[in-house]
Structure 1
Amino acid sequence: MKKDWKKYLGPGPLVAAAFIGPGTVTVCTLAGVNFGYDLLWALGLSIITTIVLQEMAARIGLITQRGLAANISNTIQKSGWRIFSISLVLFAIVLGNAAYEAGNISGGALGAEIFINLPVFEIGKLQFNPLNLLIGVMALILLFSGSYVLITRFLTALVILMSLAFVISAFLVRPNFYAIMGGFMPRIQIDHVITVVALIGTTVVPYNLFLHSGLVAKKWQKLDDLKYVRMDTLIAVILGGLVSMAIVVTGVAGKAFEVNNAVDLAKGLEPLLGGNLAKYFIAFGLFGAGITSAITAPLAASMVITECFGWSSNIKGWAMRCSIGVVLGLGLIFSSLGIRPIQLITLAQLANGILLPLLSGYVIWLVNKKALMKGLENSIKLNLLSGIIWLITLLLGILSILKVFGLI
């Protein structure tokens, strides 16, 4: 019985850790501050979308015993289309994750600043924050440990503590539950578009599709294990989505109209808990969100790099460690360019929302290849659902681009 229980514990916590990052804290707080409960429906849609896409990516990993990037590389035969596809994946995941990593590190540092006040050094246009380096080193040490078990246990513990901080905060501000239920009625206005795309982008993290499929292949090997894969995915995504909703609820209760640092994020708790206690709650949650995502982002990017080039994805191998070091290093550099952390975080989430239709399209295509899926390809109903989800993400991506360029 104990052995069967352990089979249900897979990479789900890493998936949750990836999308409950500083971007989630920031975007969900801004959604609550600016629009109240009106966009909770977007988070509900995000949860459904994430479950569907992550299950398909995980199923591909289990059946093929390869990660998503390796399957794209091995399945596409035409050289021109293959080069384009691999280049797109590398560009979107590696460079995107480097920018995302900058937001993770900067966001984690914002939370840590409440507990540790260190001076920021300016060298020309660069700003060197020792806390950024500290978070980067912590992530590097854990990743270089070479143990998926240790990484999973650390992230599971931190995600639980971080989630409790946000969920307890949401209950303590005594929200209007009738108003919360009204927030699940879909409505969208032009002013909502950017935030809706960002909410979807912060939940349905594109690199999570690659990370999940690769880790599932390492954890489970038998087709009979599919039930464990699905349960692990379902629990992780639903719990992560509830945490995101708790952050929105907390943001609604606050008085902040601009979010620049952990003190601003604490405004949501001031009505009940008082500024100091609220500040520490949010600061810990933001730090936890930053460090967990700072670990998963370079891990996912390094798996994509090694799979695209046919190198070993063993976490102790030179290829994985070099790739991890490059992505972490780029994240530290980007976070030292003097760009406001909130700008980095928000832009990363918006980029995720735009990239999602492109990368999810590959997942839907692969999961329907009979030769690849061995009889476990999508059903007609699941294809219909995934098709609707893809069209929604495509529409939102187009609207966000038009909005950025002032065309709507």
Structure 2
Amino acid sequence: MSNPIVQKFKNIGPGALVAAGFIGPGTVTTCTVSGASYGYTMLWALLFATVATIIFQEMAARVGIVSGKGLGENIRDRIPNKTLKWIAIVIVIIAIFVGNVAYETGNITGGILGIQAVFPDASMIPIVVVLGILAFAALWIGSYKVVEIVLTGIVVFMGVVFLVTAFASSPDWGAVAVGLFVPTLPEEGSKGILTAVGLIGTTIVPYNLFLHASGASERFKDPAQVSDARFDTVLSIGLGGIISMAILVCAAANIFGTGAAVTNGKDMAIALEPLMGSWATWMIGLGLLAAGFSSAITASLSAAYAVNGVLGWKKTLKDLPFKVIWIIVLVAGCIMAIVLGKSPTELILVAQAANAILLPIMAFFVLYCANGKDLGKWKNHIFANCAGVVIIVITLFMCWRNMSSFIASLQALIGG
């Protein structure tokens, strides 16, 4: 008989995919900009985001396992009133489309930053075209899984590099502790709140809720395996959150206070110089490119799974409606990256903030589905419901506070 602990580790999968999904170029950029601009003061936002992600991703995975369906199908099936059902369907489609196009724009822009970190004179439009064609080809022929495994491996390696560098940089651990547990918002009412919301938006990714529910329903066929899925979720996302914090700590220890502004990948490489030396630029370039490319694939796919699920359509790579949806998201992301790509780090920050604004809507749907009576003993208990409501209220408050900064930053991005 196999060791139950060993078996839990063998069942790690859907949660790891979610963690790999949110450690994209948006995370590297947003965490680096935050650390470089505000030191350790925004670590609390990452701690909150990591805990919130674990709570809601666990709900999504549990709903997927017990129902045997994705989140889109659950939203469609659990709302009895036809009018309310279609309102929910429209909200999900609009939110997922807007959120994923914003995220896709950030992913493609991350790939551009990665290449330009190593080759500063590389032209933006050819890079976007090549990245778009490669992502399209990988999705069309269905070989994205192999590509994703390889590129996720590179991203994980980069995560380890940031963790080691964080300790090698001899950070002020007292300031780290204060930053983690004492919430503060630098530059009240301006970019500080935008950065805080961006840190949350780059961690609690709405489309990952759909990805996790579908992945867990395929991996775990028995409701008794919910505990295995929970272990996978806590371990994988917890480690992902620690890596995000390490990125911020590296930037805070090596860039904050120097007067350097983070506007491109080469600027981000300064955070890795204590460990990587002259190789720091290549490391950050390769990491941003890999993170951007792999996330560009998963973002497109997740949008197709979510929209097809909520509309009750078939969800295979060969179905034309499925292909049409991921093509629209991919092409829109490429176009937006070209049009708005003059300020890449600002664009990525705005994309993460847009995602955070859509988060409370998707979180509400997950909370609703996780309270379905048919889930029996697997439905939400009082702690999960209270935690879920508190998180939604906090994110709503932060989004409301962020709205004016978000609109101003978006107008400046479009006008600039």
Deviations for 1:53-107, whole angstroms, at most 9, x for unmatched residues? 0000111111111111111112223232222211111111113212211110111
Contact 1:170 1:249 in 2 (8 A): yes
- Measure the CA separation in 2 of the matches of 1:6 and 1:185: 30
CA contact (8 A) 1:206 1:355 kept: yes
Partner in structure 2 of residue 208 of structure 1: 208
1:251 to 2:247 alignment:
no
Matched, 1:307 2:309: yes
Q: CA deviation at 1:283?
A: 1.7
Alignment of 1:4-403 (within 5 A): 4=7, 7-116=10-119, 119-120=122-123, 129-146=125-142, 150=146, 153-189=149-185, 190-191=188-189, 192-252=192-252, 253-254=254-255, 255=258, 257-270=260-273, 274=277, 276-339=278-341, 340-371=343-374, 373-403=375-405
> One-letter code of the match for 1:290?
G
Number of aligned residues: 397
Say if 2:50 and 2:237, in contact at 8 Å, map to a contact too.
yes
Distance apart, 1:322 and its partner CA: 2.8
Counterpart of 1:219, as a letter, is R
| Partners of 2:72 and 2:309 within 8 A in 1 | yes
Q: Distance in 1 between matches of 2:389 and 2:311?
A: 30
Spell out, residue by residue over 1:246-286, the C-alpha distance to the aligned partner (whole angstroms, 9 max, x if none). Answer: 11111112136422211111222346754x32222222222
For residue 310 of structure 1, report the CA deviation from its aligned partner. 1.5
Give the Cα separation in 2 of the matches to 1:145 and 1:235. Answer: 32
Confirm or deny: 8 A CA contact 2:59 2:370 kept in the other structure: yes
* Distance in structure 1 (CA, Å) of the matches to 2:118 and 2:145: 29
**How far apart, in 1, do the equivalents of 2:193 and 2:142 lie?**
41
In the superposition, relative to structure 1, how do residues 262 and 119 fare at CA in structure 2: closer, same or farther (>3 Å)? closer
Shift of the 359–40 alpha-carbon distance from structure 1 to 2, 3 Å rule, reads same
Question: Please, what TM-score do these two structures have when normalized by structure 1?
Answer: 0.90
Deviation at residue 174 of structure 1 after TM alignment: 2.4
* Secondary structure of residue in 1 paired with 2:248: helix
Q: Give the distance between the partners of 1:267 and 1:157, measured in 2 at CA.
A: 23
Distance change in 2, residues 1:76/1:22 (3 Å) = same
CA contact (8 A) 2:103 2:355 kept: no
Distance 1:327 1:404, change over 3 A: closer
**Within 1, Cα distance between the matches of 2:296 and 2:104?**
6
Q: Give the letter aligned to residue 12 of structure 1.
A: G
Partner of 1:124: none
Quote the offset at 1:404 in angstroms: 4.3
Residue aligned with 1:353, SS: helix
> Residues 11 and 228 of structure 2 are in contact (CA less than 8 Å); yes or no, is this contact kept in structure 1?
yes
Calculate percent identity across the aligned residue pairs: 37
Query: Aligned-residue CA RMSD in angstroms?
Result: 2.4
Per the normalisation by structure 2, the TM-score is 0.88
Unaligned runs of 5+ in 1: 121-127
Aligned equivalents of 1:208, 1:151: Cα separation in 2: 19
Deviation at 1:36? 0.8
Gapped regions of structure 2 (runs ≥ 5): 409-416
Encode CA deviations 1:327-353: one digit per residue, 9 max, x unaligned.
111111111214332232111111111
Residues 118 and 281 of structure 2 are in contact (CA less than 8 Å); yes or no, is this contact kept in structure 1? no
